[in-house]
Amino acid sequence: MPLSAYEELCELFFKEDPHRAAIDRMIRELPVRMREAISDYIAAPAGIAVMPTIVFGRHTAYVDFYRPLVGHSGGQIWERCDPDHCLGLDLEGRYWFGIGIYMEHVLGAMTTMFPMIHFIFCVKAFDETSVELVIKNLDGSIPIKNANDPASYADAAELAIDRIMNHLKTPAAAFESRRPIGFRRSASWRREAV
């Protein structure tokens, strides 16, 4: 007896299910694996960053997850988020996550400024074993050729940080052109610059 359309649909759905599950697991692990790879590549200090921990009221690493929000004055602000809530979808259905890096002149020193750089990774393409990322507002893609291999994340982190550093070294990259990457300015910095 031939299969009904419903039975055929169910068979196709469950045949495809392991493929969907593998992609779902890979995408959900992506932000944490990239954060760890970036932290390792830049050799960020271990432990908590004091100033962000005080500001956000919870333990915050030197490299951690952030998401952009609209502040009370209408400008963009960055809020720390947990690994379970850092993966988002944009209006076109693309996955993204934000990472922030806290910087100190002297390790552990408290300053009146809150020097951070934030950037958003967008998932450009993916399949069961690989991912292609882009950093919002920067050119070029960042491949993760084997999502099951930590070395692929290490290569992606190196490429991402090198792209960001090259952008910062470019004399033509005025401060305003860098802002979309996500520099955070404090009120005290603005008073000094005026």
User: In angstroms, rounded to a whole number, what is the distance separating the alpha carbons of residues 34 and 52?
Assistant: 20
| Single-letter code of the amino acid located at 134 | V
User: In angstroms, rounded to a whole number, what is the distance separating the alpha carbons of residues 5 and 88?
Assistant: 35
For 84-97, letters b (16+ CB in 10 Å) and e give eebbbeeeeeebbb
* Nearest to 167, CA basis, from 157, 155, 179: 179
User: In angstroms, rounded to a whole number, what is the distance separating the alpha carbons of residues 194 and 179?
Assistant: 17
The C-alpha torsion from 188 through 104 and 174 to 119, rounded to 10°, is -110
Write out the chain's pLDDT in tens, 194 residues.
888 999 999 999 999 999 889 899 999 999 999 999 999 999 999 888 888 888 888 899 999 999 998 888 888 888 999 999 999 998 989 999 999 999 887 665 666 567 889 999 999 999 989 999 999 989 899 999 999 999 999 999 999 999 999 888 876 655 444 455 555 443 333 333 32
In DSSP terms, which residues pair with 101 in a beta bridge? 63, 117
Count of all residues that appear for the chain in the document: 194
Which pLDDT belongs to residue 187? 35
Which pLDDT belongs to residue 184? 47
pTM of the entire predicted model: 0.80
Q: Where are the domains of the chain?
A: 11-193
Which pLDDT belongs to residue 107? 65
Which pLDDT belongs to residue 83? 92
Which pLDDT belongs to residue 113? 67
Token digits of residue 81: 């988020």
Contact 76, 70 (CB under 8 A): yes
Phi-psi sector, 43: left (phi>0), alpha (psi -120 to 50), beta: left
Can you tell me whether residue 137 is helix, strand or coil? coil
Q: What number of other Cβ atoms are within 10 A of residue 35's Cβ?
A: 24
Contact 52, 42 (CB under 8 A): no
